[in-house]
Structure 1
Amino acid sequence: MKKAIFTLAIGDNPMYKAALESFQAYADKVGADLVVSEELHYPLNIDNKNYDASPAWSEKLYMAELLKEYDRVLYIDADMIIAPWAENIFERYNALDTIYMFNEGAIKDRTEHAEKISSILGQVDWPSENGKTVYFNSGMILASKESNLFTNASAQEMQKICNEVKFYDQTYINYLIFREKINYVCIDKAFNRMPLLGQDGYKEASFIHYAGRGYREKIPMRELKFIIDYCDFFSDTLSEQASIEYKQQAWHWYMLKQHRKTKIPIGMLSAVFGLFYPQHKY
């Protein structure tokens, strides 16, 4: 059976580089190819600033093309780390006619998004469990040819909703599952461990998702925390020099963001912020 791990990584964010290293290690372990989109195949016109939507989110539709070549495709957001101890998800969830995702609707009410997309693309029988709207997080999707998730998907439909519906890609994928009456199973949280589940125990998960603000706690930026955790998780295989370089890149990324806000020279910003966060300055 031919398997792929698929992600989108555009730009030089050091978080993406570390994520891809963890994805490649996992791909090697489970016998999958790593496929990385570095350009967009489905450009959308997004002009609603209220939702902070990205045209890059449409790239999840590319799974349809990959499923012509591969039997199973695992999509993973590039703000995730796959831990070196991660369980083999392909073996854990092996029904080929089923979509596997994490139901964040059990924790966060997403009824508003379900109702909005239905008002635009047509009503569907949107399910609920324990009185809560089923709504899957699309940061991790495990699909097979037989599931037919993307058979009737289109960038044109995404364009209709991308300026009207929050989390347009995620909401659209949920909508497809229910419109096309596709079998689905909610995965264990260990395969999409998100901050909305809290801080406790997140480092024990297989797939750790740094969505939103991530697990930053008192650390000023999620990219810094991401790299700190990555270097910790892979300390057995990552050289000390490589770890330092990752942390230097993450600190520089933080300084670039501050520079764009303030226009103050990066050297001066680094000196000032280094006084407040000396343990994170490299």
Structure 2
Amino acid sequence: MKKAIFTLAIGNNPMYKAALETFQIYADKVGADLIVSDELHYHIDIQNPQYSASPAWPEKLYTAELLKKYDRVLYLDADILVTPSAKNIFEKYTDLETVYMFDEGQHLNRDLPISQINEELGAADSWQKINGKQSYYNFGMFLISKECKLFQFATLEGMQKICNSVKFYDQTFINYVIQNNCIPNQCVDAEFNRMEFLGQDGYKQASFIHYAGRGYRIKCPSREIRYVDDYCKLYPEKVTAEKKAAMKLDAWNLFIKNLSKKSSIPQGVLQFFCKPTIGRQWL
């Protein structure tokens, strides 16, 4: 059985560089090929979106192409860190007709995007509820097999219809397709998509740590800095002193660059004031 791990990593974000290293280690461990999209295969027309909407989000549809070559594909966002002791997800979840994802709807209220897409595309025939809450999967990690029909119904055209009006348009569209077409689905254990809203205690013991949103900042100025710091601590044997210093500096410089954009304060000024104070804890 041919397996692949697929991700999208465009640009020089230091978090992505570390992520790809952990993905490759995991791929070798579970006998999978690592496939990285460093350019987009799809174009979506986003104009005056009501919510944050990235033109990169449809790239996950490329999974359909990979399933022509591979029997099973694990997709991971590039802000996920696979830990050294990560369990083999391919062995844990084995039904080939089922798509496996983490149901964040059991922890966060996602009624708004669900109601929005039902209004745009017509109410799904049925929308499963668990413990009285509407199911809503996070699209940052999923495991799918050739036999699953999800990507027969999930198309770029469908995303185009709702990208300017529905919150989390790609994720919400995939959830709609699952529900409207009765695609077999199952929630994975939280350790395979461990996000900050589940709490910060013990998160490093998870198999896949997802630094979505604020990303475990915990008194840290950015999720990229937190990610790199965690990576260096979890993989000390992979990180020389020189590499550690370079990665941390790259993450710090990205934080300063983003802060400069938000505040309109020149990067040099921010470096002068922040590096001796905040920066000394992380560099």
Matches within 5 A, 1:1-282: 1-124=1-124, 125-262=126-263, 264-280=265-281, 282=283
Say which SS state the counterpart of residue 236 (structure 2) adopts: coil
Q: CA offset at residue 49 of structure 1?
A: 4.5
Q: CA offset at residue 133 of structure 1?
A: 0.3
> How much identity, in percent, do the aligned residues show?
55
Q: CA offset at residue 267 of structure 1?
A: 3.6
Deviating beyond 4 angstroms after TM superposition, the runs of 4 or more aligned structure 1 residues are 262-265
In 2, the alpha carbon distance for the partners of 1:81 and 1:196 equals 16
Q: CA offset at residue 176 of structure 1?
A: 1.2
Aligned partner of 1:244: which letter?
Answer: A
In 2, the alpha carbon distance for the partners of 1:240 and 1:92 equals 36
Aligned partner of 2:87: which letter?
Answer: E
In 1, the alpha carbon distance for the partners of 2:12 and 2:54 equals 17
Aligned partner of 2:33: which letter?
Answer: D
1:227–1:256 Cα change, 3 Å = same
Q: CA offset at residue 222 of structure 1?
A: 0.9
In 1, the alpha carbon distance for the partners of 2:201 and 2:138 equals 20
Per-residue CA shift, 1:190-246, capped at 9, x if unaligned?
000011111111111000000011100111111111110111111122222211111
Say which SS state the counterpart of residue 147 (structure 1) adopts: coil
Q: CA offset at residue 275 of structure 1?
A: 2.7
Q: CA offset at residue 177 of structure 1?
A: 1.0
Aligned partner of 1:70: which letter?
Answer: Y
In 1, the alpha carbon distance for the partners of 2:46 and 2:71 equals 32
Over the aligned positions, Cα root-mean-square deviation in angstroms equals 1.4
Gaps of 5+ in 1: none
> Are 2:49 and 2:165, in contact at CA under 8 Å, matched by a contact in 1?
no
1:180–1:21 Cα change, 3 Å = same
> Are 1:251 and 1:280, in contact at CA under 8 Å, matched by a contact in 2?
no
Q: Return the TM-score normalized by structure 1.
A: 0.96
Count of aligned pairs between the two proteins: 282
The more displaced of 266-275 and 246-255 is 266-275
In 2, the alpha carbon distance for the partners of 1:278 and 1:153 equals 44
The more displaced of 43-52 and 176-185 is 43-52
In 2, the alpha carbon distance for the partners of 1:19 and 1:200 equals 22
The more displaced of 259-268 and 212-221 is 259-268
Q: CA offset at residue 154 of structure 1?
A: 1.4
In 2, the alpha carbon distance for the partners of 1:130 and 1:155 equals 32
Q: Return the TM-score normalized by structure 2.
A: 0.96
Per-residue CA shift, 1:49-71, capped at 9, x if unaligned?
54111111111111111111110
Q: CA offset at residue 265 of structure 1?
A: 4.4
> Are 1:6 and 1:76, in contact at CA under 8 Å, matched by a contact in 2?
yes
In 2, the alpha carbon distance for the partners of 1:192 and 1:27 equals 17
Gaps of 5+ in 2: none
